[in-house]
Amino acid sequence: MYLIAQYRFCIKETLDDEMNRCAYRVSKGDTVAFDWIDENFRPAVFRKTLKYPFTVHDREDALQEMMELALRLCHKYDPVAGNYRHYASKVITYELMKLFYREIDHQSGEMLKSAEDITFEAGDYRNRRRDDPLDIILDEENRMNILHNRKVCSPLERKIVYYCDYGYEIKEISEKLCVSERAIVNGLHRVRRKRGR
């Protein structure tokens, strides 16, 4: 009969030599080496973004932001500490979660502000709080540009603006267009940013 006195575990990371080499080369100033990392690491980062209910545009932005983070992480990477892929994957998972919750907080604050500032009354294109007629004319021209220029806004964004102009509420618009209320709110924020340019 044997008595087990102690356990010993041996944990070894899988070899990921090419990605480690590329990350090391980037840290030494060879930025072209990041192309290989981008090509091979981007699909995994994209799958991570699917865990969160981003819209298509927000997902693209998040993916691009995380790949920029992956580039910055090359300069912090220490080959002795382990594999670059594992290191970057853990950091990106955490940063995606922070980005998602930060976006939720921002949107809830924006929704409260927009509820105070904007009214979408049927047939009313003017903001009565503004007294300058030139501002009113510019606002209407900008709005017409958004509704009729396909290069400025997507078809969904143009439909959202169209229904808002005729007094529909966000819930009604989401039912008419068969998309979530969050997608409608995000579309309105994107249109507002484009109008501000």
| Cα distance between residue 14 and residue 22, in whole Å | 16
CA angle, 37 then 42 then 47, to 5°: 145
Question: Would the CATH topology of 17-115 be identical to that of 119-196?
Answer: no
* Per-residue pLDDT tens digits for 87-96: 999 999 999 9
Q: At what angle do helices 17-27 and 34-49 cross, to 10 degrees?
A: 110
CATH topology of domain 119-196: Arc Repressor Mutant, subunit A (1.10.10)
Q: Which of 134, 152, 154, 131 is nearest to 143 (CA)?
A: 152
What is the residue extent of each domain of the chain?
17-115, 119-196
* Per-residue pLDDT tens digits for 140-167: 666 666 666 666 677 888 888 878 877 7
Contact in structure between 100 and 52 (CB atoms under 8 Å): yes
